[in-house]
């Protein structure tokens, strides 16, 4: 990633970097932060979509915590 190029994904870059650092990294590249951010966003969207399907199947409009838990195990 060049300094002139700004990339945007779903989560705050500082928070994603902190996750990587908490995993044991001393230094973290901007590309690594961006890629993990993409992966987390993609995974989160997949879980959310499936949770919405579960809520609809249950006759609800509200997505609840058990829907997310069930969707995450898929």
pLDDT tens series, the chain, 74 aa: 555 555 566 899 999 999 999 999 999 999 999 999 999 999 999 999 999 999 999 999 999 999 999 999 98
Residue 41: what pLDDT? 95
pLDDT at 71: 97
Residue 3 has what pLDDT? 53
Name the architecture of domain 13-73: Orthogonal Bundle (1.10)
- Say what the pLDDT of residue 16 is: 96
Give which of 72, 16, 25 is closest to 44, Cα–Cα: 72
Measured distance CA(15)–CA(39) in Å, rounded: 14
């Amino acid at each position: 990633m060049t300094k002139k190029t700004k990339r945007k994904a779903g989560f705050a870059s500082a928070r994603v970097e902190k996750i990587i650092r908490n995993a044991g990294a001393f230094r973290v590249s901007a590309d690594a932060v961006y890629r993990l951010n993409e992966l987390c966003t993609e995974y989160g969207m997949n879980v959310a979509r499936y949770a919405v399907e579960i809520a609809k199947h249950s006759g609800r409009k509200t997505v609840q915590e058990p829907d997310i838990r069930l969707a995450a195990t898929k």
